[in-house]
């Protein structure tokens, strides 16, 4: 697990209040209890706060699963450093 993956997992665990949550790339809305469209926007906000960045509209449209969120974050983190 990269540091980004660890932080991502920590955000998900805190956000959904489940300390045993293990993220997998294939996970989408139906795999996590409480992950609906409103929660999704709040989750996006939590990720922006955690990583100190803003997502573009194009990125927001892609981020619909754990895998795509991870890809966007990883790409963004490496382009920022």
Partner 1 sequence: MAVTAHAPIFLDSLDDPIRGALALLSDDVAGENALLLLQDALSRYGSRIGPKTMHALARHAKSAALAADGAVRAEQIRAIGMPAAQWYAAAMLESAGSFAAAAEALDAMDDVSWGEERALRLEALARNRLRAGQVAGVGLPLRYAARAAQTRQTLVSLDRLLTQARQSADLPVKARRRIAVLGSGVLDFWAGLLRPALFGFDIGCEILTGGYDQYQQEILDPSSRLAKFRPEIVVLAVNWRSLGLLDETADPAKTVSNVINGMAGLWRTCQHRYRAAVIQMNFEIPEVDPFGRLSAAAPGGRARVIQKLNLELWDAAQQFGIAVLDVEQLAAATGKRNWSDPGMWIAAKQYPTTDAVPLLTRNLAALVRAVCGLTSKCAVVDLDGTLWGGVIGEDGLDGIRLGGDAEGEAYTAFHQYLLGLRRRGIPLAVCSKNNEDDARSVFRRHPETVLKEDDFAVFLANWEPKPDNLRNIAAMLNVGLDSLVFLDDNPVERNLVRQELPEVEVPELPDDPARYAEALHATYLFESLSLTDEDRRRADTYRDNVLRTELAAGSTNLDEYLVSLRMKVDLRPFDETNLPRIVQLINKTNQFSVTTRRTTASEAMAWIQDPACYTQFMRLQDRFGDSGVTGAMVAVREGETLRIVNWLMSCRVLGRRIENLMLASLMRHARRAGAAAVIGEYLPTAKNGQTADLFDRFGFERIEEREDGGRLYRAAVPAEDEPVTWCDVTDTAAAG
Which residues would be at the binding site for partner 1 (CB under 8 A)?
Answer: 3, 6, 10, 17, 19, 38, 41-42, 45-46, 48-49, 54-57, 60-61
- Other beta carbons less than 10 A from residue 35's beta carbon: 18
Burial class (CB in 10 A: 0-12, 13-18, 19+), 58: exposed
Query: How far apart are CB 38 and partner 1 at their closest, in Å?
Result: 5
Q: Which one, 10 or 75, has the nearer CB to partner 1?
A: 10
Q: Which one, 41 or 75, has the nearer CB to partner 1?
A: 41
Q: Which one, 6 or 28, has the nearer CB to partner 1?
A: 6
Cα gap 3→33, rounded to integer Å? 25
Give bridge partners of residue 29 from the DSSP assignment: none
């Amino acid at each position: 697990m990269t540091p980004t993956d660890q932080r991502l997992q920590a955000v998900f665990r805190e956000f959904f209040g489940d300390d045993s949550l293990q993220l997998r790339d294939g996970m989408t809305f139906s795999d996590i209890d409480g992950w609906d469209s409103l929660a999704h926007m709040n989750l996006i906000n939590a990720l922006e706060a955690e990583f100190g960045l803003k997502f573009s509209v194009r990125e927001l449209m892609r981020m619909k699963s754990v895998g795509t969120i991870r890809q966007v974050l990883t790409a963004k983190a490496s382009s920022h450093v």
